[in-house]
């Protein structure tokens, strides 16, 4: 009897295994047909398996890791309608436009629709002609909409940007808390929560607030190896920003400022220099913000200058740079904002220009917070400041913050690992002089005053307090006050010094006292020279992505893409991504079949654009005597 039961169970498992293989094969075919991809990215297969087997899930994949395809691809094949919860109209519109462009039946319901557009979407829900419906959380949980869904066969519910559920997340939205009703009302329908950024505490809170049943948790690597991180002390904002823009001429990028007035002034300065830029912040009217966003999306401008009010609703894949002109308030915010670059997997630059004043601005803005929330926020701010001032590989620091690690010592994609920043050969000696000065000042003064003492200033305050008689007075007299103050900030960032109280008085930490005893090894960076040193080695990700690419053909295809997108009134990257264009310019296909081999070219896009794309490639190859079908 036991043998018979075991045999029956084995047969059932074999049947399920064969069924699953068929399902995956069909989803892979859909992936190629609609999106032009021939394989899954890491964890996509496992995330899809959860949906097909009816399991709840929490999926954390980095920006550019393909989290949207985790629910879009199976939705095409599953019976019924997939509901996607999304927080912003712009994000919904962007994804629905992209799906429609690929030939997938998708729609959205939001406040921007006309009555006719709304009625058409509802009719398609009732007629069962939709595969995906995007909707905002507050509309989804309304009684009328839930009643409508009671009459519809639901295949799956996807909660996108799921970190908004958690008060521990960096973008908490109270309306997301209401989504817990979905699991109670549609208990048999699997629910998946998707986000690009979530610590362990946030992941746990997401599962609890959504009432997920024993969810499968899938966590991808938080590393974005295609992003090249660079951090510099802010000295001349306009000059430093323009140096980045020169490296990315005619490419799309985002510049973040902390304050609205900085957005306005910087944008005006850039436009006066001939750059195609537009502002975006919460002080502008909705129409003004939409106008700026549309111009950026449709590549009528190259650069958007914005506060953090901009970004979540943008799925633009070909952002080649993100610049922060001030320090973000947490590493989660920085990961999210810088992560809007290079969503297509190609190289992108993330430049951060900070000053100690940024720390003070954020700290003052946190004064009105509740004590517990303020303590959490200050902890996150200190970790962000450590990232800016520390001398550790940028990729390593970001990964460790999210509980992961980088296997290789050299990331090959940050200013430190690329050799763009040099360490002081006598870092320990300089650090000991600074720490000794802080101790001899009785740990009663801030960074600026301490730096003055170290360089030997004869300032009246120093003379009155007789600090010119200290043994540490003038110990670093061969250096500028600015350089010494910068090293003090670096020691704070590496946790050898701490800033205490309202006036940021310097105190030695336990690690700082160890350094005074000769134990520990701080890393201090050489002062920036007035004549900037040449760049270090080129990031390997940039070398690899351009290898074999005919740049002239790439530019011709980019211009063709812009023209085709303009005719249809859609963003250029929805026609083809930069990765697809580079592959075309590398392989130079000559037939529709060869064009279909390019990643990102599905059947509908081949039918729509194939003829003119192939003609452009052929014309370029004939004009320059180049072979095709490489």
Q: Please answer whether residues 601 and 582 qualify as being in contact, where contact means their C-beta atoms are separated by less than 8 angstroms.
A: no
Residue entry with tokens 């690929």: 102
Residue with tokens 């990765």: 579
**Residue 19: per-residue pLDDT:** 63
What structural domains does the chain harbor?
2-219 (3.40.50.300), 227-401 (3.40.50.300), 427-516 (1.10.10.10), 548-624 (1.10.150.80)
Distance CA 264, CA 270 (A): 10
Per-residue tokens: 132:
């995906």
> How far is residue 129's CA from residue 149's CA, in Å, rounded to a whole number?
14
Q: What is the pLDDT of residue 26?
A: 85
The lowest-confidence range among 204-208, 492-496, 512-516 is 492-496
Nearest to 413 by CA among 342, 355, 354, 353: 342
For 335, residues 6+ apart whose C-beta sits below 8 A from its C-beta are 196, 197, 222, 398, 402
Report the alpha-carbon distance of residue 86 to residue 95 in Å, rounded.
Answer: 10
SS3 329: coil
On the question of pLDDT at 261 being above 60, the answer is yes
In angstroms, what is the C-alpha Rg of the chain?
27
pLDDT of residue 15: 53
**Environment class of 322 (CB within 10 Å of its CB; exposed 0-12, middle 13-18, buried 19+):** buried
CA distance 245 to 526: 25
Q: Please check the confidence at residue 266 and state whether its pLDDT lies above 80.
A: yes
Tell me: the pLDDT tens digits for 336-359? 899 889 988 899 999 999 988 898
Q: How confident is the model at residue 170 (pLDDT cuts 50, 70, 90)?
A: low
Which sign, positive or negative, has the C-alpha torsion 417, 418, 419, 420?
negative
Mean pLDDT of the chain: 87
194 pLDDT higher than 90 = yes
pTM of the model: 0.75
The encoded tokens of residue 146 equal 């839930």
Would residue 157 be called left, alpha or beta, if left means φ above 0 and alpha means ψ between -120 and 50 degrees?
A: beta
Q: How far apart (Å, rounded) are the C-alpha atoms in residues 261 and 267?
A: 10
Higher pLDDT, 332 or 532: 332
| Residue 440 reports pLDDT greater than 80 | yes
Of 271 and 17, more confident: 271
Helix (H, G, I), strand (E, B) or coil at 279: strand
For residues 534 and 526, give the distance between their C-alpha atoms in angstroms, rounded to a whole number.
15
Which of 13-22, 182-191, 442-451 has the weakest average pLDDT? 13-22
Phi, psi of 135 (to 5 degrees): -150, 150
Query: For the segment 399-436, what is each residue's pLDDT rounded down to a tens digit?
Result: 888 888 888 878 899 998 888 887 888 999 999 999 99
- Return the half-sphere exposure (C-beta side, CA atoms, 13 A cut-off) of residue 451: 16
pLDDT at 14: 47
Q: Label residue 3 by pLDDT band (50, 70, 90).
A: very low
At 96-150, the pLDDT tens digits run 988 998 899 999 998 888 999 999 999 999 999 999 999 988 888 888 889 999 9
Query: Percent of the chain at pLDDT above 90?
Result: 50
User: Do 358 and 310 contact (CB within 8 A), yes or no?
Assistant: no
């Amino acid at each position: 009897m036991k043998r018979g039961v075991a045999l029956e169970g084995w047969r059932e498992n074999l049947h399920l295994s064969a069924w699953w293989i068929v399902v995956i094969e069909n989803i892979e075919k859909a992936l190629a047909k609609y999106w032009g991809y021939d394989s899954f990215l890491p964890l996509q297969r496992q995330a899809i398996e959860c949906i097909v087997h009816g399991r709840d899930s929490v999926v954390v994949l980095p920006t550019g890791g393909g989290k949207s395809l985790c629910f879009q691809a199976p939705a095409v094949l599953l019976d019924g309608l997939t509901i996607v919860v999304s927080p912003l109209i712009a994000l919904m519109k962007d994804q629905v436009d992209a799906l429609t462009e690929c030939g997938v039946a998708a729609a959205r319901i939001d406040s921007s629709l006309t009555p006719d557009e709304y009625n058409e979407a509802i009719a398609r829900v009732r007629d069962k002609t939709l595969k995906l419906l995007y909707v905002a959380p507050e509309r989804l949980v309304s009684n009328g909409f839930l009643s409508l869904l009671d009459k519809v066969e639901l295949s799956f519910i996807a909660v996108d940007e799921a970190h908004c559920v958690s008060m521990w997340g960096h973008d908490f939205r109270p309306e997301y808390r209401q989504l817990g009703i979905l699991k109670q009302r549609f208990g048999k329908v699997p629910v998946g929560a998707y986000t690009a950024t979530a610590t362990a505490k946030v992941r746990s809170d997401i599962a609890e607030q959504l009432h997920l049943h024993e969810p499968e948790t899938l966590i991808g690597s938080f590393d974005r190896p295609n992003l090249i991180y660079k951090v510099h002390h802010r000295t001349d904002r306009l000059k430093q920003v323009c140096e980045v823009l020169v490296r990315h001429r005619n490419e799309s990028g985002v510049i973040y400022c902390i304050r609205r007035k900085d957005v306005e002034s910087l944008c005006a300065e850039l436009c006066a220099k001939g750059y195609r830029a537009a502002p975006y912040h919460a002080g502008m009217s909705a129409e003004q913000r939409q106008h700026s966003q549309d111009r950026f999306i449709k590549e009528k401008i190259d650069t958007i200058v914005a506060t953090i009010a901009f970004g979540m609703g943008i799925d633009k894949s070909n952002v080649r740079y993100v610049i922060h002109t001030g320090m973000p308030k947490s590493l989660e915010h920085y990961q999210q904002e810088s992560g809007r670059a290079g969503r297509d997997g190609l190289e992108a630059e993330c430049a951060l220009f900070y000053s100690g004043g940024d720390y003070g601005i954020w700290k003052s803005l946190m004064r009105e917070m509740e004590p517990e929330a303020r303590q959490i926020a200050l902890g996150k701010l200190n970790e962000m400041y450590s990232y800016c001032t520390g001398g550790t590989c940028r990729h390593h620091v970001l990964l460790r913050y999210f509980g992961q690690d980088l296997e290789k010592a050299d990331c090959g994609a940050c200013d430190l690992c690329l050799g763009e920043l040099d360490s002081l050969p006598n870092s320990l000696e300089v650090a000991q002089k600074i720490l000794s000065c802080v101790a001899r000042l009785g740990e009663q003064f801030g960074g600026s005053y301490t730096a003055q003492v170290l360089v030997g200033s004869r300032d009246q305050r120093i003379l009155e307090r007789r600090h010119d008689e200290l043994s540490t007075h003038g110990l670093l007299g061969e250096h500028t006050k600015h350089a010494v103050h910068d090293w003090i900030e670096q020691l704070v960032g590496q946790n050898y010094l701490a800033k205490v109280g309202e006036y940021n008085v310097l105190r030695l930490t336990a690690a700082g006292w160890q350094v005074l005893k000769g134990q520990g090894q701080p890393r201090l960076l050489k002062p920036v020279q007035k004549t900037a040193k040449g760049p270090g080695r080129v990031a390997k990700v940039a070398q690899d992505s351009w290898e074999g690419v005919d740049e002239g053909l790439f530019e011709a295809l980019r211009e063709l893409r812009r023209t085709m997108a303009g005719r249809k009134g859609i963003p250029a990257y929805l026609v083809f991504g930069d990765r697809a264009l580079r592959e075309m310019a590398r392989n130079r296909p000559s037939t529709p079949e060869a064009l279909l081999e390019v990643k990102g070219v599905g059947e509908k896009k081949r039918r729509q654009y194939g003829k003119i794309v192939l003609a452009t490639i052929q014309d370029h190859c004939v004009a320059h005597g180049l072979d095709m079908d490489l």
